[in-house]
Amino acid sequence: MRIDVVTIFPGYLAPLREALLGRAIEAGLVELGVHDLRDWTHDVHQAVDDSPYGGGPGMVMRPQVWGEALDAVLGEEPARLVVPTPAGRPFTQATAQAWAAEERLVFACGRYEGIDQRVVDAYADRGPVDEVSIGDYVLVGGEVAVLVMVEAVVRLLPGVLGNPVSAQEDSFSDGLLEGPAYTRPVSWRGLDVPDVLRSGNHAAIARWRRDRALERTAARRPDLLDALPPDALDRADRAF
């Protein structure tokens, strides 16, 4: 997979070259390009923003500089263009799974009050464009959202995780939150590991884990339970 990020703060994306992602890049599983939007300005001040039509606070990123930058970075190869914005559709595990199948992702990081809408409108005629949000809170720019989304996507690529079963058993992949996990010692500060996990009874362990996942999801994210398809719960789940 090829990933490009256009931003006025290229240094913000440095963590993408660390740890798991860094290893994916070194292993050639991911190619990463980080580009400074100001490289496509022509004035001495390298201005990327201007005041909004219609008035109001803040600044809007100018379309011309974004147009030149995206023409250059997108090139002729097909790519999905992603524009992080708190006004976007929610980015979820399903989004990460869909994007993990793409050849190329290009992220356009806006700052200030966003990018002139005509940039998204113009590129929507050329290929897929997604305006996405990572949650119901406001960040100062798209850069941190890109760190989040790229990490969620890249860990799903074949060969990136040591144990591919971990990606399949994630919270959300079955629509539920994962339950608690334990390791040695069996007793710590007077707290014991649940007996069933040491029983060797794999069916009982699977049932116990499923019950804890249901319990935790009901307590913390009842909205996820409501959203499960009707066939997602088996008889034992319902009894629970």
Binding site for ligand 6GU (CB under 6 A): 84-86, 88, 132-135, 137-139, 141-142, 145
What is the separation, in whole angstroms, between the first and last Cα of the chain? 42
Report residue 121 CA to chain centroid gap.
23
For residue 82, the minimal CB distance to ligand 6GU (Å) is: 9
Q: Residue 188: phi, psi to the nearest 5?
A: -145, 125
Among the listed residues 17, 38, 104, 155, the single catalytic one is 155
**What is the smallest separation between the CB atom of 26 and ligand 6GU, expressed in angstroms?**
27
Catalytic residue among 38, 86, 151, 211: 86
Select 24 or 131, whichever has its Cβ closest to ligand 6GU.
131
* 26 catalytic per annotation: no
Among residues 68, 102, 113, 174, the one annotated as catalytic is 113
Min dist CB 136 to ligand 6GU, Å, is: 7
Contact assessment for residue 110 and residue 61, using Cβ atoms and an 8 Å cutoff: yes
Contacts of 127 (CB under 8 A, 6+ apart): 74, 78, 79, 80, 81
Nearest approach in angstroms of CB 108 to ligand 6GU is 11
Answer yes or no: 178 catalytic. Answer: no
52 is catalytic: no
The nearer residue to ligand 6GU, 172 or 208, going by C-beta atoms, is 172
For residues 148 and 197, which CB has a smaller minimum distance to ligand 6GU in the complex? 148
The catalytic position among 102, 170, 178, 215 is 170
Q: Which helix (H) or strand (E) holds 19?
A: helix 19-26
The region, left, alpha or beta by phi > 0 then psi within -120 to 50, assigned to residue 172 is left
Active site residue 113: yes
Estimate to the nearest angstrom the gap between the alpha carbon of 91 and the chain centroid: 6
Measured from the CB atom, is 139 or 224 closer to ligand 6GU?
A: 139
One DSSP character per residue, 181-222 reads ---S-SEETTEE--GGGGS--HHHHHHHHHHHHHHHHHHH-H
Please give the positions annotated as active site.
86, 113, 155, 170
